[in-house]
Structure 1
Amino acid sequence: MILTSLTLENVGLYKGKNVLDLRPKEGKNIVLFGGKNGTGKTTLLESVKLCLYGNNIYGYTKKQYEEFIKKLIHKGEKSAQVTLEFIYFSLESHDTYKVVRKWDLGKRFKEEFLLYKNGEIYKEIPREQWQEFISDIIPPSLVNFFFFDGEKIEKLAEDFSEVEFVNDVKSLLGVTVIDTLRTSLDILRKRYINQEDVSEEISQKLQELEEKRKTLEKELEKKLQSLADIENKKQVLERKLKTAEREFIEKGGEAFRSYERNKTRKEFLESEIEKIKNEIRELASKDLPLATGMDLVEELLVQLEMEKEIKRINFEKEILQNKLKELENILTPLSLDKEVLEKIRNLFSVNKEIKSDIILDLSEKENKTVEVVIQNLKTNTLGKAKNLFLKLENLEEELLEVESALQNVPEEEFIKPYLEKLSRLERKRMEYETIRKCLEEEIRKLEKEKNKVEKEIEKLESFIKQKMKKRMVIHIIEKSQKVIDRFRKEFVKRKIKILEKEILDAFYKLKRKENFIRDLHINPETFEITLFDVNNRKIPIDRLSSGERQIFAISFLWGLARASGKKLPVIIDTPLGRLDNEHRENLAKNYFPHISHQVIILSTDVEVDKELFEMLRTHISHSYQLVYDEDCMCTKVHKGYFWN
């Protein structure tokens, strides 16, 4: 399918007739619209959807839809029209269709829907079936995956479990058709039950229970909506709280909060410092002073060793001389030769001499005492002193930091407005949390009551089934429902496998971090998404950065579009608003040129700037610039982009 033109007449800011050529040139898939904020870019996207589906895409009441169209029509005008032309390719041929939707604000609101095929009013099917025909070509359930804006991406990035989104995914997978079939069978089953000959009392009771269930469902729906509203308010409040907290910290609020803690810490540190100083003084009163002259202490040890050696040698010498005298007394009567006697004397002589004097002349006991004192000084006193001085130094540094923090505490009058704002928001959060808990409790009670009613209904229906004549039909229906349930489970599982692969492939094309996400899993019951890293560990989606979540959301939409199997154009309104340059460039290279055979981009000059325009140039078929004219208070369409 290729969109060939879009014509707006008195729609939004577009006054008069505005014809836009959407047909891409051969080999180029992008048609680029540029416009500042408020020039009507989103009107183009909404006009395409409105032309194709009318109120079916919005689900307004009749009165709400009339008010919506009145606001959409250009100010001062009484009628408007949107015309969309496209070529649809089937297996047999390709045909040109024109869809026209007109509105008239005369005496009564009037909408007219027209369908043309190859230039003539479409007559192959009744007029009443035209809308269904268009919905078959472009199913409304798929439109959000092909026609979307930046806000859709941001919303999806914030909450992948959104009910509307999950329903769209179900419809894409074909689950909605299966569920509709099962619901239809259930309605048929109940119809057969109600047709049976059952006592009026039981029928009345069953009707009352059905009414009660409907009432409970409506009440439950209201409470769930209230819970969703309070959750949204809470999220907005959380963002305000973060901003207020940041302002409070920037103004010195953290120091203000820490004042009492730092004051107590200062007193503790001062006390600890004094204790350590006392310990150092105690060491100084004992043998620590010796540590100041360790060189002398080492010399003392050397001197002591030398004196011990001198005394040992002198002692040995004295013993040998005494023995020599005794030997001489024995040998003298023997009249030995003098040379022999000299040799004997030499044997008893001690030649070793130490050139040092005995200065200290300590006894052996005194010597040991001195050695013990010096050894204790080395092993205990010095080590303990070093540890004390190191601890003292660390404590004094911390004390300086604490004193500095105390000096930087802002005045209470200065910080008070920020603190009060923060307190107000905290109180509001507590209020929301209380409301949330109350709503959850009410919902729990309603669900409990609803389950109770449903069990009573089930009992009555079971009793009625025993009495009815058409049991076989109901049996077949119930059996069919079980088959459908099994089929649905297997069908969803297989479809989800395809969807997971398409989404992951799309993400790999767009994410700059290689192997950041290795795998993903979609729960076939809840459709909850779980991401896994290279080590097969779960990655919570809320831990991804804002940019990463948006890239994943875009990948998700791309994967869904590919999984649908439909070859449809893609229209994107302001998709790059909150992405950094690297992500934007990655989308320009790997996303826009490849997502579809026809891509219509609605952008500001900030999103698709000069650099991005040059990157896309080879893929751009043609471009338009939307310019707001103050004189006519309307938007005018010019060919070319902002600087092209």
Structure 2
Amino acid sequence: MKFNKLTIENYKSFQFPTVFNFPQSSEGKSIFLVGGMNGAGKTSIMEAINVCLYGAKPDWLYKYINRKELSKGNAYVSFELELETGEHETIVIHRSWSAGVTETPRYKDLEEKLVVVKDGKRVSVQNKEMWQDFINATIPKSITQFFFFDGEKIQEIAADDHSEVRLQTSLEAALGIQYISRLANDILYLKQEERKGFVEISDEDIEYKESELKKEQRKHHSKKQERDDLSQELENFKSEKEEAQERFKAIFSIDAESTEIVKQKEKKRIQLSNKSNQLENQIKVLNDQFLPWAIAGKLFDSVKKQIEAERESQKQNALSANAQDLAKQIVDKLELPEPIIEHPLTTEQKAKLEKRVLDILQQNKSAGDIKKILNLSERDAAKVLNRIEEIEQSDVLQLEQLLKEKEELDFEIRSIEASLSSTASESERELFDTLQNTIESCQTQIGRISVRLSNVNEEIVVIETRIKDIELEINKLYEKHNVSKERADFIQECDTIANLLNTYIVKLRKNKVKVLQEKTLEMYKMLSSKSGLIKDLEINDKTYEIIIRDRSGHEMKKSGLSAGEKEVFAVSLLWGLAQTSQLNLPLIIDTPLSRLDSIHRDNIVNHYFPNAAEQVIILSTDTEVDSNYFKNLEPHLTGAARLEFSHINEITSIKEGYFWN
């Protein structure tokens, strides 16, 4: 198959109908070079081909309608691709979207129209799905990613060590295996449908039971996988624990299980040390604040009595010393400032009254027997009494008991430290703790996983019982009905064919993968620099995981390759797929050289482009395929064009010839 012509209208910067002609050479092979600066529209060409072949969602397409035309209300976009099949049939596919006549078009207004012209005659496309199936069968969408690719696709394949595994479905399609698998599944589906057809019960009943069975089988598979994962995880922790225990015993000459006693002793030692420190701090505080006063603790009662006696004596003596003046003042107050008696007292009466008052005031006079020892002022006496009370309420009087308690604690701590010192030296303590923590952590994980594993096993038993019950119910349903010989033979034949196809798939996959290995390695050796690291490679015929071997035969990761080697390897894999698939499709490459060094670029231009496919369309900037590479490539070209983007008009136009041609 080859592309003859592509027309783009009103898509991105292609405002007006733009036609790309891809001339063919008389020899059969053709290479067409399209040049353009970044932003000129090279990627739009590849997008246009994909949209024309497979369609697009209106909301996505609406965003890329030319802005000038859309602002005028012209919500119209179209693509047309003319191609020639391997049977020399010319097919024109025209696909367009239009919102009709509306002032403010929206993406919801876009309606798709498909026109197919075969050998000059328009084909009815009332059944658009049928023609889309025809297009998909002619150019499978899952395969085109290996024929229409850009630098990003190369980067995706070169990205990591397992990128090809993620492409398994597409690789199966490219190698032709996907369709055979689908055929085998379709045959099994026909068998199931046939079995449903001759059962007297309704199809709904059988579908319900079989869906129940599939649901339980999926649960069973999931639980078994979970059990396997847990079992592996459990074994890993057991091995880690056993290894730590053996190392522990080899170093410390004791079993790791006895370390629990050591741990308890260490915990108790820390607790006792903390308590001893607290007592020591308490003793220091008592010594600093109260010890000098506490020495006189037995004299506190005598001191307090002496202070009270001296206070009382001082009060009485003060009162007696002023008794005569007080007596005279009291008598004078009887008449001054106003008399409080009717008849004033005579001088004799006043003298008698003063004597009586004086006797009353002096009757409590201290006998003078109190000996003043302390002779404190009232303020100093109050300070002494407060200090005595503060000392009596403190724990200083318990100092002897605290000292004794601390001595007992220190003795117990020394005993524990002596027993611990025999278990491990200080230099080994860190390793001791590390191994002990590892063993305890593993034991915790083993317990946790064991519980989960037990629960999962119980769930598996329940599910298996349920599956057997459902299978028995289904078998009983089928046994209730007579099956005709013809249908029974048909079902048996379906099984036989499906088994043969599955066997064929296994063999075909191995053969295809072997060819893919050879073709990929062949192109890699051709494209790689002289110092290419890859000597051989193997592709897993089940997972498609690629194992790379270096010049010494050692396995190496793809990530170990340089950026250039990775991309060369990715290009080689794409070429290998194209060769292995045996599909004669055009190859479109967008900006393939931007990330390569000069040596790899030389090899790509001189060896890959001329041999990549029967028809190759290269989309490049002036710095990728530059003037030197253009000279090397020019003998193989059947044509060249360049895209020119006007920043003033925001329009891309096509000009004949490359940048220097």
In the alignment, is residue 166 of structure 1 matched against residue 168 of structure 2?
yes
1:198 deviation in Å?
7.8
Q: Distance in 2 between matches of 1:204 and 1:131?
A: 33
In the alignment, is residue 29 of structure 1 matched against residue 30 of structure 2?
yes
Give the equivalent residue in structure 2 for 1:15.
Answer: 15
Alignment of 1:521-536 (within 5 A): 521-536=538-553
- SS at the partner of 1:114? strand
Give the equivalent residue in structure 1 for 2:471.
Answer: 461
Gaps of 5+ in 2: 103-108, 223-451
Return closer, same or farther for 1:74/1:462 CA change in 2, 3 Å cut-off.
Answer: farther
Identity of aligned residues (%): 34
Q: Distance in 1 between matches of 2:457 and 2:177?
A: 25
Q: Distance in 2 between matches of 1:113 and 1:612?
A: 40
Which amino acid is 2:143 matched to?
A: L
- SS at the partner of 2:152? helix
1:79 deviation in Å?
0.6
Which amino acid is 1:490 matched to?
A: K
Alignment of 1:277-356 (within 5 A): none
Q: Distance in 1 between matches of 2:632 and 2:591?
A: 17
* 2:62 aligned to which of 57, 64, 70: 70
Q: Distance in 1 between matches of 2:209 and 2:80?
A: 54
- SS at the partner of 2:534? coil
Q: Distance in 1 between matches of 2:653 and 2:464?
A: 59
Return closer, same or farther for 1:104/1:201 CA change in 2, 3 Å cut-off.
Answer: closer
Q: Distance in 2 between matches of 1:29 and 1:164?
A: 33
The two structures have a TM-score, normalised by structure 2, of 0.55
Q: Distance in 2 between matches of 1:477 and 1:455?
A: 29
Return closer, same or farther for 1:450/1:209 CA change in 2, 3 Å cut-off.
Answer: farther
Contact 1:51–1:83 (Cα < 8 Å) also in 2: yes
For residues 195-224 of structure 1, give each alpha carbon's deviation from its aligned partner in whole angstroms, at most 9, with x where no partner exists: 646899998666556568899999xxxxxx
- SS at the partner of 2:623? coil
Return closer, same or farther for 1:197/1:70 CA change in 2, 3 Å cut-off.
Answer: same
Which amino acid is 1:494 matched to?
A: N
1:507 deviation in Å?
1.5
Give the equivalent residue in structure 1 for 2:3.
Answer: 3
For residues 266-317 of structure 1, give each alpha carbon's deviation from its aligned partner in whole angstroms, at most 9, with x where no partner exists: xxxxxxxxxxxxxxxxxxxxxxxxxxxxxxxxxxxxxxxxxxxxxxxxxxxx
Contact 1:216–1:446 (Cα < 8 Å) also in 2: no
Return closer, same or farther for 1:466/1:608 CA change in 2, 3 Å cut-off.
Answer: same
Q: Distance in 1 between matches of 2:131 and 2:77?
A: 21
Which amino acid is 1:16 matched to?
A: F
Contact 1:217–1:450 (Cα < 8 Å) also in 2: no
- SS at the partner of 2:471? helix
In the alignment, is residue 507 of structure 1 matched against residue 524 of structure 2?
yes
Return closer, same or farther for 1:78/1:617 CA change in 2, 3 Å cut-off.
Answer: same
* 1:606 aligned to which of 623, 644, 648: 623
Give the equivalent residue in structure 2 for 1:312.
Answer: none
Q: Distance in 1 between matches of 2:94 and 2:601?
A: 36
Q: Distance in 2 between matches of 1:187 and 1:453?
A: 25
Alignment of 1:29-48 (within 5 A): 29-48=30-49
Give the equivalent residue in structure 2 for 1:560.
Answer: 577
Return closer, same or farther for 1:105/1:202 CA change in 2, 3 Å cut-off.
Answer: closer
1:44 deviation in Å?
0.2
- SS at the partner of 1:51? helix
1:132 deviation in Å?
2.6
Give the equivalent residue in structure 2 for 1:84.
Answer: 81
Which amino acid is 2:61 matched to?
A: I
Contact 2:114–2:128 (Cα < 8 Å) also in 1: no
Return closer, same or farther for 1:622/1:449 CA change in 2, 3 Å cut-off.
Answer: farther
1:617 deviation in Å?
2.0
Alignment of 1:615-630 (within 5 A): 615-630=632-647
1:552 deviation in Å?
0.7
Q: Distance in 1 between matches of 2:575 and 2:115?
A: 32
- SS at the partner of 2:143? helix
Return closer, same or farther for 1:596/1:446 CA change in 2, 3 Å cut-off.
Answer: farther
Return closer, same or farther for 1:104/1:504 CA change in 2, 3 Å cut-off.
Answer: same
Which amino acid is 1:101 matched to?
A: R
Q: Distance in 1 between matches of 2:4 and 2:205?
A: 64
1:123 deviation in Å?
6.0
1:640 deviation in Å?
2.4
Gaps of 5+ in 1: 56-64, 219-441
Alignment of 1:429-508 (within 5 A): 456-457=466-467, 460-461=470-471, 463-465=473-475, 467-469=477-479, 470=483, 477-508=494-525
Contact 1:161–1:527 (Cα < 8 Å) also in 2: no
Give the equivalent residue in structure 2 for 1:137.
Answer: 138
Contact 1:193–1:461 (Cα < 8 Å) also in 2: no
Q: Distance in 2 between matches of 1:450 and 1:147?
A: 47
Contact 1:202–1:460 (Cα < 8 Å) also in 2: no
Q: Distance in 2 between matches of 1:41 and 1:579?
A: 19
Return closer, same or farther for 1:114/1:204 CA change in 2, 3 Å cut-off.
Answer: closer
Contact 2:9–2:78 (Cα < 8 Å) also in 1: yes
Alignment of 1:555-594 (within 5 A): 555-594=572-611
Greater shift, 502-511 or 202-211, is seen at: 202-211
Which amino acid is 1:111 matched to?
A: E
Greater shift, 43-52 or 115-124, is seen at: 115-124
1:493 deviation in Å?
1.1
Q: Distance in 1 between matches of 2:135 and 2:122?
A: 14
Q: Distance in 1 between matches of 2:119 and 2:639?
A: 25
Contact 2:165–2:543 (Cα < 8 Å) also in 1: no
Return closer, same or farther for 1:164/1:23 CA change in 2, 3 Å cut-off.
Answer: farther
Return closer, same or farther for 1:446/1:207 CA change in 2, 3 Å cut-off.
Answer: farther
Return closer, same or farther for 1:156/1:203 CA change in 2, 3 Å cut-off.
Answer: closer
- SS at the partner of 1:602? strand
Return closer, same or farther for 1:449/1:565 CA change in 2, 3 Å cut-off.
Answer: farther
Q: Distance in 2 between matches of 1:153 and 1:538?
A: 22
Two-structure CA RMSD over aligned residues (Å): 3.6
Which amino acid is 1:616 matched to?
A: L
Q: Distance in 2 between matches of 1:29 and 1:446?
A: 62
- SS at the partner of 2:112? strand
Greater shift, 582-591 or 535-544, is seen at: 535-544
1:533 deviation in Å?
3.1
Q: Distance in 2 between matches of 1:178 and 1:534?
A: 37
Name the count of aligned residue pairs.
Answer: 407
In the alignment, is residue 103 of structure 1 matched against residue 121 of structure 2?
no
Q: Distance in 2 between matches of 1:26 and 1:450?
A: 67
Which amino acid is 1:23 matched to?
A: P
Which amino acid is 1:89 matched to?
A: G
